[in-house]
Amino acid sequence: MQLLVSPSSISEAKHSSAADIIDVKKPSEGSLGANFPWVIREIKSFSHKPVSAAIGDFDFRPGCASLAAYGAACAGADYVKIGLAFEGREQAREVISAVVRAVKEEFPKKYVVIAAYSDYERMHSISPFDMAPVAADCGADFAMVDTGIKDRQSTFAFMDEKTLRSFTETNRDLGLGTALAGSLKFEDIDALKRINPEIIGVRGMVCGGDRNATVREDLIKTALAMIR
């Protein structure tokens, strides 16, 4: 299980080097808010770890999504991550296939991460269980769960351990890795180890509980020690 940490700036990224994956996003622009391509590029220039980049919480806009995905890949992201903030499997298929093609045609070794939301009912968006088979069909690499509305409610408030374990196991059967995020706390780590996704994504946990605070290197090391 790898630890992905989401700094919001270049200076924060320099304090996040202990993490397994450095995730570039802009929390002020949403759950999976996109940061600037020059920020991705600079972080990639000094990071010795893989770099992930969120491209946004998207409505049904396959053209915009594919162009954003291509831009993130060109800027240096090793993992390109999109959130599906809309309903419908066929609409999801169109967006996912466009994003996968945009990244994989030129960068076949880069990873595409498709995120749905644990709070999909209040988001009025596709459920993670409906998203994952489509993601696998379209050639994505990871299916992710995050919270769409950041009001400090955890993914565990909407999907319990049994449900998340089922999601992870189903993804493995589909040939997908699993990434779990969404206001995860230190007290969730034991359950996360039992669920055993490939990646857990955190920000608030390593900011002292407030995702609007600053990433702390000591808390990243604490999280890694607990995971290991």
Contact 183, 150 (CB under 8 A): yes
Q: Measured at the alpha carbon of residue 177, what is the angle toward residues 172 and 181, in degrees to the nearest 5?
A: 120
Active-site position among 44, 81, 104, 110:
81
Contact 14, 46 (CB under 8 A): yes
Q: Over the chain, what HEC string results?
A: CEEEECCCCHHHHHCCCCCCEEEECCHHHCCCCCCCHHHHHHHHHHCCCCEEEEEEEECCCHHHHHHHHHHHHHHCCCEEEEEECCCCHHHHHHHHHHHHHHHHCCCCCCEEEEEEECCHHHHCCCCHHHHHHHHHHCCCCEEEEECCCCCCCCHHHCCCHHHHHHHHHHHHHHCCEEEECCCCCHHHHHHHHHHCCCEEEECHHHHCCCCCCCCCHHHHHHHHHHHC
Has 81 been annotated as catalytic? Answer: yes
Has 150 been annotated as catalytic? Answer: no
Active-site position among 25, 44, 104, 110:
25
Question: Which residues are known catalytic residues?
Answer: 25, 81
